[in-house]
Structure 1
Amino acid sequence: MTNRNPLIFSTLFFIISLFTFDVYAQNIILTDNNKPSNIRGLSVVDDKTAWISGSKGYIATTNDGGKTWIWEQVKGHEKSDFRDIEAFSDKEAVIMSSGTPALVLKTTNGGKTWEEKYHKTDSAYFFDAMDFINNQHGYILGDPINSKFFLLETKDGGETWTKVSNLPDALTGEACFAASGTCLRISSKNLFIVSGGKNSRMITFSIYNNIWSYADLPIIHNKASQGAFSIAIGRRQGIIVGGDYENDRKTDSIAATYPIRPFPFFNIPQKGPSGFQSCVEHIKGDVFLSTGTSGSNITHDGGKTWTKIDEASFNVCSKAKRGKLVLLAGNGGKIAIFKM
């Protein structure tokens, strides 16, 4: 019988224990459920304040870090599907409605009243996502019209919106998904769009140079239900997730990473998420969280390998702009807190 080295055995046991603790220390804790709204809009302001928006005109707010929520139905908009929201404080927020009419509303009193800032009854207008560089400068992305993606811009905190003159090209059968409000992301210098359908691409806009660039993604596509659904930007790399929402257990070609510099160069994970993911969020360092109808997954190595941490279906996840709070939300008014 071979003698075992106690030091080697102890070291190995310690490493395995650390790995096991790391995986199981990540918890998703449900705080609200069974509400008459499917949530896709989520904006976390800080460790106390967050807003959500959803179908049937519902919005909800929390001021205790997601433990309790106050629900309201926006008067006069009970049939609206508010697919995205951008909150700036516990008083001020902008919501965007997908479908017809295409709407943008703003509140400055914590959601007690809302003012209409944009309204289009033409069914060609379908809003997918909204993002802001800061509290004043933001964009709304819409599906293609006449082979161009639709894009609105505000420079006064959502008070007024104007159509961008230099619009990006859209290929035949290409569109974006209004699944989590994260097919559009903005950094200090660039605007990023990820698409799906017949094609799956990352479309990048240099805000200061006014130049668009296009890159094909190694994400499953060719069907209306397939493509890239979400993009998140970290310090060293970006991550894109998606898949096929009609076959949400399919794991092939549903995620990709790219280095911030040089760019673009896409990599496929060694071990990807466990199925379709509608949203990905940068948590810290090389840690990203993703979620979808197939469950939630986490990576600690910048997207090279993913671990499934929860089976529940969610549509969106988001981290505080100022703080560490991370929330998830989904259908049936489902809201949860992510702990690690």
Structure 2
Amino acid sequence: MKQLLLVSIMTSFLFSCGKKTPSVRSKSASQMEIEIVDLLRDSTLNVRALELDPSGGASFALSNGKIGTISGNPNEEASLTFQLKQDSVIPNFRSLAVTDSAAFVLSIASPALLYKVDKDSLQLVYKETHKNVFYDAMEFWNNQEGIAIGDPTEDCMSIIITRDGGNTWTKLSCEELPKAKEGEAAFAASDTNIAIVGGHTWIATGGVVSRILYSADKGKTWRTYETPIIQGESTTGIYSLDFYDEKHGFAIGGDYMKPADSSANKIRTKDGGKTWELVAKNQSPGYRSCVQYVPNSNAQELVATGFKGIDYSKDSGETWSHLSDEGFYTLRFLNDSVAYAGGAGKISKIILRKKRNSKN
């Protein structure tokens, strides 16, 4: 392993509860209202990787090689804690995963650098150098087994897997994976290209071709499913995927270069990803980089976010209400009313609540 530089972040980046930016409440016509409380604001922040911690807080990783944490209740302090640098390379982190004992951060471009961070050590556990290497997302099935996906370096998507708690990672050969189609890749927009329920795994690809790769056995075997989402250009396709259970899933995306286009950017499955249907065609929202099911909503409630704002659906994506113009790249639900969100220059807490005059 080459020399690793670990630098503490100045304490001026630490914001306590008493110094949080005042919250903003939306004026949406929806039955749901939203409150946004900033936990950390700094112009250097670019947060696309965010995951909940077992402690009840969250971890996040930045495009400038920094890693931060949100402490759990009651303090809810957000702070930057580490600066990672490999020789002269400052990693651009877009993927992050958390187990009970460690956090993992993965950079996008060559050389791809995957670090394991725990209370006792910081290790570079995987490195890949290739002109086309570009990793997009990472998740764990359990404390021992995890997966990360990236753009093709050969004629299949890049998939690396660990079976020993993240200490070693192995890249699957293209003989073990479906062949990628011309122009098929993935987007590192929100670290939500992978959805896991038990041993079931769904991966969203995007670009000229946008499909679903599915494994029923934690990455040992794979099959593909077609989708009706907009595709055909390098900037089109699925940007984010979530599953509520083994049957119900939702994906969103569109065209990053045409963010208002909502003609075919939201799709839904009710059979575990085998078939997908377009929903809310020609209805807002347009392009969004992240979608998540609201917990305990029986696969009915969804929240989507992107740089153009936050939107909510109460009917499995059939209709949507715009909650806020404030944009975020990614979010994760702590419970059915609170989520943490990351974007350009900020980490925030998002509070959802039904309006007092709402009967539904």
* TM-score over 0.5 (shorter chain): yes
Q: How does 1:57-206 map to 2 (within 5 A)?
A: 57-65=65-73, 67-77=76-86, 79-89=90-100, 92-109=102-119, 114-165=122-173, 166-206=176-216
CA displacement, residues 255-295 of structure 1 (integer Å, 9 cap, x when unaligned): 11110358324242367442211111111221111111111
Aligned partner of 1:39 in structure 2 is 47
Question: Is 1:260 the counterpart of 2:271 in the alignment?
Answer: yes
Match of 1:214 in 2: 224
Distance 1:273 1:21, change over 3 A: closer
Runs of 4+ in 1 over 6 A off after TM superposition: none
How far does residue 121 in structure 1 lie from its aligned partner after superposition? Answer: 2.5
Q: Deviations over 1:238-265 (max 9, x none)?
A: 1000011112122221111110358324
Which amino acid in the other structure matches residue 23 of structure 1?
M
Distance 1:31 1:262 in 2: 36
Q: Distance in 2 between matches of 1:160 and 1:222?
A: 36
Q: CA deviation at 1:160?
A: 1.0
- Provide TM-score, normalisation by structure 1: 0.85
User: Could you tell me the TM-score, scaled by structure 2's length?
Assistant: 0.81
The aligned counterpart of 2:350 is 337
- The Cα of 1:234 is off from its aligned counterpart by 1.1
Q: CA separation in 2, counterparts of 1:209 and 1:49?
A: 29
CA distance in 2, matches of 1:48, 1:177: 28
Q: Indicate the residue corresponding to 1:269 in structure 2.
A: 280
TM-aligned CA distance change 1:21 to 1:222, over 3 Å: closer
Q: Give the letter aligned to residue 175 of structure 1.
A: A
Cα pair 2:264 2:282 within 8 Å, conserved:
no
The answer to whether structure 1 residue 244 and structure 2 residue 255 are counterparts is yes
Distance 2:62 2:54 in 1: 20
User: Residues 240 and 135 of structure 1: is their aligned pair in 2 closer, same or farther, counting only changes over 3 Å?
Assistant: same
| Distance in 2 between residues matched to 1:120 and 1:306, nearest whole Å | 41
Segments of structure 1 that go 5 or more residues without pairing to the other structure are 1-18
Q: Secondary structure at the match of 2:50?
A: strand
Residues 109-138 of structure 1: CA distance to partner in whole angstroms, max 9, x if unpaired? Answer: 1xx852100012323221111011112111
- 1:98, distance to aligned residue in structure 2 (A): 0.7
- Distance in 2, matches of 1:189 and 1:172, equals 29
Match of 2:20 in 1: none
Tell me, yes or no, if structure 1 residue 23 matches structure 2 residue 32. Answer: yes
In the aligned structure 2, how far is the partner of 1:259 from the partner of 1:301?
13
Equivalence for 1:304: 318
Kept after mapping to 1: 8 A contact 2:138/2:194: yes
User: What one-letter code is carried by the residue in structure 2 that aligns with 1:291?
Assistant: T
Aligned to 1:14: none
* Secondary structure in 2 matching 1:172: coil
What is the rounded CA distance, in whole Å, between the counterparts of 1:253 and 1:272 in structure 2? 9
Could you list the runs of 5+ residues in structure 2 that have no partner in the other structure?
1-27, 354-360
Bigger-Rg structure (1/2): 1
